[in-house]
């Protein structure tokens, strides 16, 4: 399917996913304005949001299956397989988050129908980030996503911890946005362009060593994205924000928001700065430090939610290994791992939501004692999530790490691959204890786990994600093909580099 971006119809077709999601956001906004006082009104807003997200996903799949591409010079939004694959990951994360939230917000007495509207706005920003081929579009998408997520982190107005999470996230997020915007300004000053393919063409003209302004701009871009993906040493906001936010929102931030940051980073580096060698070394060190620090601090955590928060930092390090390879194989490894990580993160936090109350901040690993006897199916799903996060053979997490290792070795980064393997072994020190206490310890009291149950749509989320992790771990071909197809189109066209 060829799309002529010089016509209005072509532009609307190219932006069909964003336009469909925007239209549904307006529908949800009107529904909230009409009725917003009861739990049923909030549930209705959630269902409408779910329909909007599924509709958008169908549009993305239709464009991808039709191989929609731009005729002539591409615009500020890319029409390539990477955009469609990344959008699929974001929408999957948003759909699972809404399903987890339908009963959760009523149970936690969070009466805020705009909760679902903000998820739609955040997802819209992610679509712009993953599809933007211009630094300005990526920045606008990032800010749209960030502002919505800042509010979502503090949506529980009764919780002081949620207010703290929102404030810290806002302050450090604004700080990171300043770095990102200043980096864009320096890159524009050095190249006279904000379009990623045109930036690549200008850098080729500079020769093997770009000028200092372009390198400074690239460095500031890496710092800005480092904050957004929670890479060490830019991770300071992560534990408190994850801890204070409502659990479905924590899962949304850990999975979809992180995937959006990485998708934008992959496109910027591979399409705009693919021929600049210096960023490979910078990302190499970021990956090493992030894997080591995230895993070591997670070992000391006894609260389950904070343990998952620090483990998400470690997983950011694994994804940085894929980015550091600087190849299409690395981009494909990122997409595969993003799918697996979205499933296991949403499932793990879905389990956590069932195990606690009032934000689940006080759920300790020891509180899972006896869960295997009292709630065997929930314990079995939790075991799958922990083993997949660990990277145990037979799960999608293992296949994702194997794919990342393959990309690193192919790029001759064997030491980085060794660090990934060693830190994954270290992570067994905090992923295996929850499994051990569920099956090898008795419940603390006869009443323990009486209220631990997954109800409604969340039950399907936990069950489906656990089953998918096993399915993709044993038969990964479909997801591997998805990732390989999605990695296409990240290099600038030859017509640009020839100029």
Q: Which residues of 85-105 are buried (b: 16+ CB within 10 A; e: fewer)?
A: bbbbbbbbbbbbbbbbbbbbb
Residues 401-430, mean pLDDT to the nearest whole number? 91
pLDDT at 383: 92
Question: How far apart, in whole angstroms, are the C-alpha atoms of residue 83 and residue 29?
Answer: 27
- Beta carbons of 197 and 191 less than 8 angstroms apart: no
Q: Output the pLDDT for position 74.
A: 61
Cα–Cα dist 64/71, whole Å: 16
Q: pLDDT band at residue 369, thresholds of 50, 70 and 90? A: confident
Alpha-carbon gap, residue 153 to 48, rounded angstroms: 22
Q: Which residues have C-beta within 8 Å of that of residue 249, sequence separation ≥ 6?
A: 97, 149, 152, 153, 155
Give the DSSP H/E element, type plus range, for residue 2.
strand 2-3
Q: What is the pLDDT of residue 494?
A: 44
Asked whether the predicted pLDDT for residue 498 surpasses 50, the reply is no
Residues 6+ apart with CB under 8 A from 34: none
Distance in angstroms (rounded) separating the CA atoms of residues 241 and 220: 23
Q: Model's pTM, two decimal places?
A: 0.91
pLDDT given for residue 489 in this prediction? 66
Mean pLDDT of 114-133: 92
Q: How high is the pLDDT of residue 495?
A: 40
Q: What is the mean pLDDT of the chain?
A: 86
Pull the structure tokens for residue 265: 């980073």
Other CB atoms within 10 A of residue 37 CB: 9
Contacts of 28 (CB under 8 A, 6+ apart): 45, 48, 49, 52, 116, 117, 120
In contact, 64 and 81? CB cutoff 8 Å: yes
Read off the pLDDT of residues 270-308 as tens digits, 9 standing for 90 and up. Answer: 888 877 778 888 899 999 999 999 999 999 888 888 899
Q: State whether the Cα torsion 118-122-125-127 is positive or negative.
A: negative
Q: Which two tokens stand for residue 114?
A: 């705009």
Q: What is the pLDDT of residue 205?
A: 78
**Per-position DSSP letters for 14-35, written without gaps between them:** HTHHHHHHHHHHHHHHHHHHH-
* Between 432 and 68, the higher pLDDT residue: 432
**Average pLDDT for residues 11-32, to the nearest whole number?**
90
Q: Which residues contact 162 (CB under 8 A, 6 or more apart)?
A: 153, 154, 155, 156, 244, 245, 246, 359
Q: What are the residue ranges spanned by the domains of the chain?
A: 2-497
* pLDDT of amino acid 456: 75
In angstroms, rounded to a whole number, what is the distance separating the alpha carbons of residues 437 and 432? 9
Range 327-350 average pLDDT: 90
pLDDT exceeding 90 applies to what percent of the chain? 42
Band of residue 493 on the pLDDT scale cut at 50, 70, 90: very low
DSSP H or E stretch at residue 70 = strand 69-70
Calculate mean pLDDT across residues 12-29. Answer: 91
Q: How many CA atoms lie within 13 A of 470 on its CB side?
A: 10
Distance in angstroms (rounded) separating the CA atoms of residues 163 and 304 = 21
Res. 455 pLDDT band, cuts 50 70 90: confident
Report percent pLDDT > 70 for the chain: 94
Looking at per-residue confidence, does 254 or 493 come out higher? Answer: 254
User: Per the structure block, which two tokens stand in for 456?
Assistant: 């409604």
**pLDDT tier at 184 (50, 70, 90 boundaries)?**
very high
What is residue 356's predicted lDDT score, i.e. its pLDDT? 64
pLDDT confidence of residue 451: 66
Do residues 374 and 493 lie in contact, with contact meaning Cβ atoms separated by under 8 Å? no
For residue 381, with 0-12 CB atoms within 10 Å meaning exposed, 13-18 middle and 19 or more buried, which class applies?
buried
Q: What is the pLDDT of residue 492?
A: 47
* Lowest-pLDDT range of 38-47, 252-261, 399-408, 459-468: 38-47
**Local structure of residue 368 (DSSP, 8 states):** G
Q: Quick one: pLDDT at residue 447?
A: 66
């Amino acid at each position: 399917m060829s799309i002529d971006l010089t016509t209005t119809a072509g532009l609307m077709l190219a932006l069909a996913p964003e336009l469909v999601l925007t239209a549904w956001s307006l529908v949800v906004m009107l529904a909230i304005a009409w009725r917003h006082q009861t739990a049923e009104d909030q549930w209705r807003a959630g269902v409408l949001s779910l329909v909007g997200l599924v509709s958008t996903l169908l549009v993305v799949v239709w464009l991808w299956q039709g191989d929609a591409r731009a005729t002539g010079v591409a615009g500020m939004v890319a029409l390539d397989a990477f955009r469609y694959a990344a959008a699929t990951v974001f929408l999957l994360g948003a759909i699972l988050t809404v399903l987890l939230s339908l009963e959760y917000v009523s149970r936690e007495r969070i009466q805020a129908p705009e909760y679902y509207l903000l998820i739609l706005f955040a997802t819209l920003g992610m679509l712009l980030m993953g599809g933007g081929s211009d630094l300005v579009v990526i920045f606008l998408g990032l800010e749209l996503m960030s502002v919505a997520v800042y509010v979502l982190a503090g949506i529980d107005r009764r919780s002081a911890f949620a207010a703290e999470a929102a404030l810290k996230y806002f302050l450090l997020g604004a700080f990171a946005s300043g770095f990102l915007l200043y980096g864009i300004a320096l890159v524009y000053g050095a190249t006279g362009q904000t379009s990623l393919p045109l930036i690549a063409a200008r850098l080729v003209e500079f020769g093997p060593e770009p000028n200092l302004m372009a390198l400074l701009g690239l460095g500031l871009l890496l710092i800005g994205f480092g904050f957004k993906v929670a890479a060490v040493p830019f991770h300071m906001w992560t534990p408190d924000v994850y801890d204070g936010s409502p659990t479905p929102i924590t899962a949304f931030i850990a999975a979809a928001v992180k995937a959006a940051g990485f998708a934008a980073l992959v496109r910027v580096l591979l399409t705009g700065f693919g021929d600049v060698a210096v960023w490979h070394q910078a990302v190499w060190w970021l990956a090493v430090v992030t894997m080591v620090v995230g895993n070591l601090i997670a070992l000391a955590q006894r609260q389950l939610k904070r343990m998952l928060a620090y483990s998400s930092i470690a997983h950011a390090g694994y994804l940085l290994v894929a980015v550091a390879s600087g190849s299409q194989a690395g981009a494909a490894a990122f997409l595969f791992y993003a799918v697996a990580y979205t499933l296991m993160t949403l499932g793990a936090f879905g389990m956590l939501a069932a195990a606690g109350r009032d934000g689940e901040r006080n759920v300790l690993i020891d509180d899972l004692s006896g869960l295997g006897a009292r709630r065997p199916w929930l314990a079995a799903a939790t075991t799958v999530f922990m083993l997949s996060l660990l990277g145990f053979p037979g799960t999608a997490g293992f296949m994702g790490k194997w794919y990342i290792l393959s990309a690193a070795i192919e790029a001759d980064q064997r030491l980085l691959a060794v660090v990934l393997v060693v830190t994954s072994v270290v992570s067994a020190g905090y992923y295996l204890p929850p499994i051990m206490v569920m099956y090898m310890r008795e419940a603390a009291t006869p009443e323990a786990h009486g209220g631990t149950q997954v109800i409604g749509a969340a039950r399907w989320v936990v069950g489906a994600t656990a089953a998918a992790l096993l399915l993709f771990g044993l038969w990964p071909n479909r997801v591997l093909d998805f990732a390989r197809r999605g990695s296409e189109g990240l290099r600038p066209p030859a017509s640009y580099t020839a100029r």
